Amino acid sequence: MSDAVLVATDLERSFPIQRGFSKAQVRAVDGVSLTIHQGETVAVIGESGCGKSTLGRLVAHLDEPDAGRVMLAGTDPSGIRGRALREWRRRVQVVFQDPYASLDERMTAGRIVAEPWLAHPEKRPADPRARVAELLELVGMRASDADKSPQQFSGGQRQRIGIARALALDPELIVADEPVSALDLSVQAHIINLMQRLQTDLGLSYLFISHDLAVVRHIADRVAVMYLGRIVESGPADEIFERPTHPYTRALLSAAPQLDRADPRQRIVLQGEIPSPTQPPTGCGFRTRCWLATEACAEVPGLLARDNPRHAVACHHPFREPTAQPADENRAS
């Protein structure tokens, strides 16, 4: 595997909230570590409220962790200021979910794409208009679209403009938080294909946040599954989809209708609600809904690799396929 672009270690982020007359803390991200390599797409999946967007914001330095570090090529943004911090920010760009809300209606597409150069004059090209035209064409738009305003574009076209804006600063990593979920199904595939082409052509890395497992299966190299602010399983996408080992991952994947054909496993219907992130269970966060839970689960399970060093699971009772081991290995044991 090529070099790590981003290494996040033990990230924590809580939010104070008012509950009636008392105050409480939402533990949105609770000890997450994550590495993203050059040219790689790491997807983060999990139910609503599990902390995906908070993690994305921490990685993009749109928010600061209470604890832990986000290192980009060896540099932690919390320790730098001024030009060095600007350079850090330049290298990580964000594509947002809603292309209707994220583009300023009063600006032309050309100004939107050029806007990042105001904060980063060092990246301003000699001929901004020509570069805007180039960027628009790179994302499948026309150079003449630069003079139109966002209202004149469809959702898919708006998202292309959002991507062109993210590319204006030549980033290394793009954090894409549900980049296609606001779009029509027919348009989603075009945007995903565009993102894949740009990745190949420009060597980009993606942190791809999505609840759409079919999209994730298509685009991700690696997958991290989150539950109540923690990563409960992570590994190569094929491994996660073919051999999920955490009970939560198994339940999550079994509930995705798009995946049924490839996956003959029984549907697992989870009992109970997701616990409130203001009062997560002690020990394993999933144990209140887990059909395999035992007393051992009162201890927080570490995120550990088992058979495959790249596939880690935080569970005291991880699932093992009976056929997962080679026959002679079985005989030896």
Ligand X SMILES: Nc1ncnc2c1ncn2[C@@H]1O[C@H](COP(=O)(O)OP(=O)(O)OP(=O)(O)O)[C@@H](O)[C@H]1O
Q: What does the binding site for Mg ion look like in residue numbers (CB under 5 A)?
A: 52-53
Query: Of 147, 305, 323, which is closest to residue 235 (Cα–Cα)?
Result: 305
Distances (CA, A) of 28 to 70, 89, 96: 16, 23, 19
Question: In this complex, which beta carbon is closest to ligand X, that of residue 29 or of residue 204?
Answer: 29
Minimum distance of ligand X from residue 4's CB (angstroms): 23
Per CB under 6 A, does 28 bind ligand X?
Answer: yes
Residue 30 beta carbon to Mg ion: minimum distance, rounded to whole angstroms = 16
Q: Is 15 a binder of ligand X (CB under 6 A)?
A: yes
| Residue nearer to ligand X on the CB measure, 21 or 333 | 21
Torsion 126-132-138-144 (CA) sign: negative
Asked whether position 180 contacts ligand X by CB under 6 A, the answer is no
Per CB under 6 A, which of residues 37..76 are in contact with ligand X? 46, 48-54
Q: Does 140 bind ligand X (CB under 6 A)?
A: no
Give me the torsion for CA of 72, 13, 63, 221, rounded to 10°: 50
Quickly tell me which residue has 């330095």 as its tokens: 61
Residue (90 or 246) nearer to ligand X, CB: 246
Minimum separation from the CB atom of position 277 to ligand X (A):
4
Nearest distance, CB of residue 62 and ligand X, angstroms: 11
Question: Is there binding between residue 211 and ligand X (CB under 6 A)?
Answer: yes
Closer residue to ligand X, CB minimum distance, 148 or 211: 211
By CB under 6 A, tell whether 98 contacts ligand X. no
The answer to whether 280 contacts ligand X (rule: CB under 6 A) is: no
Out of ligand X, Mg ion, none, which partner does residue 130 contact, by CB within 5 to 8 A per kind?
none
Q: How far is the CB of 278 from ligand X (least distance, A)?
A: 8
Using an 8 Å Cβ cutoff, are 176 and 147 in contact?
no
Burial of 127 by CB count in 10 Å (0-12 exposed, 13-18 middle, 19+ buried)? Answer: exposed
Closest CA to 252 of 276, 204, 299, 286: 286
Distance CA 329, CA 78 (A): 48
User: Which CB, 87 or 98, lies closer to ligand X?
Assistant: 98
Phi, psi of 201 (to 5 degrees): -70, -35
Residue 77 or 280: which CB sits closer to ligand X? 280
Verify binding: residue 17, ligand X, rule CB under 6 A: yes
Name the binder of 179 from Mg ion, ligand X, none, CB < 5-8 A by kind: none
Smallest separation (angstroms) from ligand X to the CB of 29: 7
| Nearest position to Mg ion, beta carbon | 53
Task: Return the residue matching tokens 């094929």.
Answer: 238
Instruction: Report DSSP state, residue 263.
Output: -
**Six-digit token string for 30:** 């609770």
| Smallest separation, CB 245 to Mg ion (Å) | 25
**Alpha carbon distance 189, 183 (integer Å):** 10
Cβ count near 141 (within 10 Å): 21
Interacting residues toward ligand X by CB under 6 A: 15, 17, 26, 28, 46, 48-54, 211, 277
